[in-house]
């Protein structure tokens, strides 16, 4: 997707998500990205120590196919749209309103919790304890 400059707008997983997709998808069609050759390819995991960061990148599909999360050694997980917490996206922490696969989202949540995630930093809303994902 990066190489081709391809954009992805996943389907709505909730009624609110389906409504928001209906509203936003036409606007999203006006946004274009130029493809680039990635410097680093991440398969399942990528250690960040050589960059001075105590943590790793973990493949966490579900919201979109190539999604990744950053899990720091202290248990902080930066997950983007793999989870959401708060208005206007949703009330409280949990499932994102958009995603390719609810099953994969839950598998990715389990992967993060099993890998030591303690606090989730979503792309939308406030951080929340990782045990909410259980």
Q: What is the pLDDT along the chain (134 residues), one digit of tens a residue?
A: 888 988 888 999 999 999 988 988 888 878 888 999 999 888 889 999 999 999 999 999 999 988 999 999 999 999 999 999 987 778 889 999 999 999 999 999 999 999 999 999 999 999 999 999 98
State how far the alpha carbon of 114 is from the alpha carbons of 77, 101, 117, in Å: 12, 20, 7
Core vs surface per residue 35-53: b (16+ CB within 10 A) or e: eeeeeeeeeeebeeeeeee
Longest C-alpha distance within the chain, in Å?
43
List strand residue ranges (DSSP E) for 95-134, in order: 119-122, 128-129
User: Where do the structural domains in the chain lie, given as residue ranges?
Assistant: 39-133
* Distance from C-alpha of 13 to C-alpha of 134, rounded to nearest angstrom: 19
> Quick one: fold of 39-133?
Metallo-beta-lactamase; Chain A (3.60.15)
pLDDT of residue 1: 84
Name the β-bridge partners of 129.
119
The two structure tokens encoding residue 134: 């259980």
User: Considering Cα of 82, then 93, then 22, then 13, what sign does the dihedral take?
Assistant: positive
């Amino acid at each position: 997707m990066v190489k081709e400059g391809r954009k992805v707008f996943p389907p709505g997983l909730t009624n609110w998500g389906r409504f928001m997709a209906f509203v936003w998808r036409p606007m999203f069609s006006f946004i274009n990205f130029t493809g680039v050759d990635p410097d680093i390819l991440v398969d399942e995991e990528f250690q960040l120590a050589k960059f001075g960061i105590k943590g790793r990148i973990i493949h966490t599909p579900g919201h979109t196919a190539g999604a990744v999360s950053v899990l720091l050694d202290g248990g902080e997980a930066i997950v983007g749209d793999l989870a959401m917490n708060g208005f206007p996206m949703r009330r409280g922490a949990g499932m994102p309103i958009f995603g390719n696969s609810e099953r994969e989202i839950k598998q990715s949540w389990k992967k993060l919790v099993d890998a030591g995630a303690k606090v989730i930093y979503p792309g939308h809303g406030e951080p929340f304890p990782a045990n909410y994902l259980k």
